[in-house]
Amino acid sequence: MTEDVQEVETNRIVIVGAGLAALYAALNLAPHPVLMISPDPLGEGASSAWAQGGVAAAMGDPDSPDSHSKDTLAAGAGTVDPAVAQRVTQEARDHILDLTRRGAPFDRDSEGGYVLSREAAHSYARVVRVKGDQAGAEIMRALIAEVMATPSIQVLEGVMAAGLETEDGTVQGVWVEPSDMDHRAAPLLIKAPAVLLAGGGSGGLYKLTTNPPRIRGQVIGMAARAGAQIADAEFVQFHPTAIDMGEDPAPLATEALRGEGAILVNKDGERFMQAVHPDGELAPRDVVARAIYAQTQAGKRPALDTRAALGDAVTRQFPAVAAACARGGIDPVKGTIPVAAAAHYHMGGIATDLQGRATLGQLWVCGEASSTGLHGANRLASNGLLEALVFARICARDIAATTAPDPAEEVTLTFRPGGQAPDPQAVEQLRQIMTDHVGVLRDATGLQTALRQINLLEGAQPDCPAFRNMTATATLITAAALLREESRGAHCRLDFPETNGKVGTRSLMTLDAALRLRAEIVSEPT
């Protein structure tokens, strides 16, 4: 270590992230000492808190975990790992009951049973929700209260992970820096016995997204830059019903609205989904997203119509949607809600095994930054929070089995001046590139253009870890999309519209391989 590098050593397990997966893992690790790295105050800035639909779980007859697993496999378009799907769906009910014990106020009926919603591509109503569209926020609130009351958990707010320190393929610690981009400081290394990455996905790499502003692929990027293998990077899910009202990020109109009978229409009042898929509005998300996108491109301004299905009950049953509409001057009781397809969830991420272990030693991953094999090419609605819960506990148990629960001092960080913040203009250019060329519809020309442009942006700011994490993830998504010469699930190639067989293969790639492909594209004459 050189004199100008700061280093702090702890025997706490470091958890990068502050969403549902991070909180649940920290609680399941107790009494092992934990240090959570949170860029924002707990409850703010995490995708989990914005999740509206709920948690998918087979809670009773006639539904079953096997049926849930079959729906997961079908939605994933041939690339779901069956063993992962079986394990996650079998454990789902137990996690709902555990969250209930921890204070999550799930909607209940007059007899005390769970109120279940049906969402796209589910055979049954099996989405457990809170106050209609408040599941993520309310579950987070319950877990945050428990975390703050747990002595073994220390939370560092206002701190952001920037990179991983490795030695011989094993993670030694995490580089961190202040998350306030207006007050820069040189990165500081926290050395720890184990690291759990439980951060967000990559939706914010796109100009049109439903994700919080900080969720821009940084966690995936830092693991990739350290040498971790990345799986299924090309599979980015676009939510079909982001509210098209000019906000960045775009508010979400939960799929539960369509589960309650809301329909999709265009500016002419035409209900277009019935001609697209037998399940109409409840077709798989990739199908609905492409239909919405096609209507938008044709200038037909698609919209969600809740009037017949819900009437004025929409404002009471779905308060988050009602609040967003009010901000945008939209009245869902008297009119329709304009919608657009927006980057929403990354099925791909850091490759993990059934214990949540990455391909680097002493590194575990759970939540959206991971790629466990559950989602395949197209995530089944409300399986995201479920996967976060299941693998948070799996990771916690595996880490606990390999780490002694020794007492630990609280970690204090003192940053020195220095560091470099991402150029805001470059970040916006990167987001526009991803939306224009690596979005709902893709082709080789656009993907190659994206790689060239990402290369230029990265070259203009080579010494900023936060931006390099973003461009690493953007490069991996684009390179994997270029190599997958077929259309499958959420990945749709205009130049390769057919699917290569019912059963597909998962993509596996390192950043080095993606960068070699990018270099080849850059060197070719345009």
- Residuewise pLDDT in 10s, the chain (526 residues): 444 668 999 999 999 999 999 999 999 999 999 999 999 888 776 777 666 668 999 998 899 999 999 999 999 999 999 999 999 999 999 999 999 999 999 999 999 999 998 888 899 999 998 887 778 889 999 999 999 999 999 999 999 999 999 999 999 999 999 988 667 788 999 999 999 999 899 999 999 999 988 899 999 999 999 999 999 999 999 999 999 999 999 999 988 899 899 999 999 999 999 999 999 999 888 999 999 999 999 999 999 999 999 999 999 999 889 999 999 999 999 999 999 999 999 999 999 999 999 999 999 999 999 999 999 999 998 999 999 999 999 999 999 999 988 888 999 999 998 888 999 999 999 999 999 999 999 999 999 999 999 999 999 999 999 999 999 999 999 999 999 999 999 999 999 999 999 999 999 999 999 999 999 999 998 7
pLDDT at 135: 80
Sign of the Cα pseudo-torsion (37, 40, 45, 48, in order): positive
Q: Which of 233, 280, 260 is nearest to 119 (CA)?
A: 260
Give the separation between CA 517 and CA 524, rounded to whole angstroms.
Answer: 11
Q: Which of 22, 34, 317, 255 is nearest to 140 (CA)?
A: 22
Element (H, E) at 477: helix 465-483
pLDDT at 2: 42
Note the pTM of the prediction, 2 decimals: 0.94
Q: What is the CATH number of domain 239-342?
A: 3.90.700.10
For the chain, the structural domain boundaries read 239-342, 424-523
pLDDT at 341: 97
Is domain 424-523 given the CATH code 3.30.2020.30 in the classification? no
Partners of 6 in beta bridges: 188
Give the separation between CA 153 and CA 15, rounded to whole angstroms.
Answer: 10
- The active-site residue out of 93, 216, 285, 484 is 285
Domains 239-342 and 424-523 share a fold: no
Within 10 A of 118 (CB to CB), how many other CB atoms are there? 18
One DSSP character per residue, 75-104 reads: HTTT---HHHHHHHHHHHHHHHHHHHHTT-
Question: What does the block give as tokens for 25?
Answer: 């893992």
- Are 283 and 241 in contact, with CB atoms under 8 Å apart? no
pLDDT at 42: 87
Within 10 A of 510 (CB to CB), how many other CB atoms are there? 16
Q: 112: helix, coil or strand?
A: coil
- Are 227 and 169 in contact, with CB atoms under 8 Å apart? yes
Give yes or no: 285 in active site. Answer: yes
pLDDT at 525: 87
Question: What does the block give as tokens for 120?
Answer: 């796209």
Q: Cα-flanking dihedrals φ and ψ of residue 411, to 5°?
A: -90, 130
pLDDT at 119: 85
Q: 297, exposed or middle or buried, with CB in 10 Å at 0-12, 13-18, 19+? A: exposed
Give the separation between CA 103 and CA 143, rounded to whole angstroms.
Answer: 8
Give the separation between CA 8 and CA 2, rounded to whole angstroms.
Answer: 14
- Are 477 and 517 in contact, with CB atoms under 8 Å apart? no
Look at phi and psi of residue 116 and say left if phi exceeds 0, alpha if psi is from -120 to 50, else beta. Answer: beta
pLDDT at 45: 67
- Are 396 and 28 in contact, with CB atoms under 8 Å apart? yes
Give the separation between CA 394 and CA 202, rounded to whole angstroms.
Answer: 23
Interior angle at CA 108, CA 106 and CA 284, nearest 5: 65
pLDDT at 185: 87
Question: What radius of gyration do the chain's Cα atoms show?
Answer: 22
Give the separation between CA 468 and CA 420, rounded to whole angstroms.
Answer: 11
Within 10 A of 145 (CB to CB), how many other CB atoms are there? 14
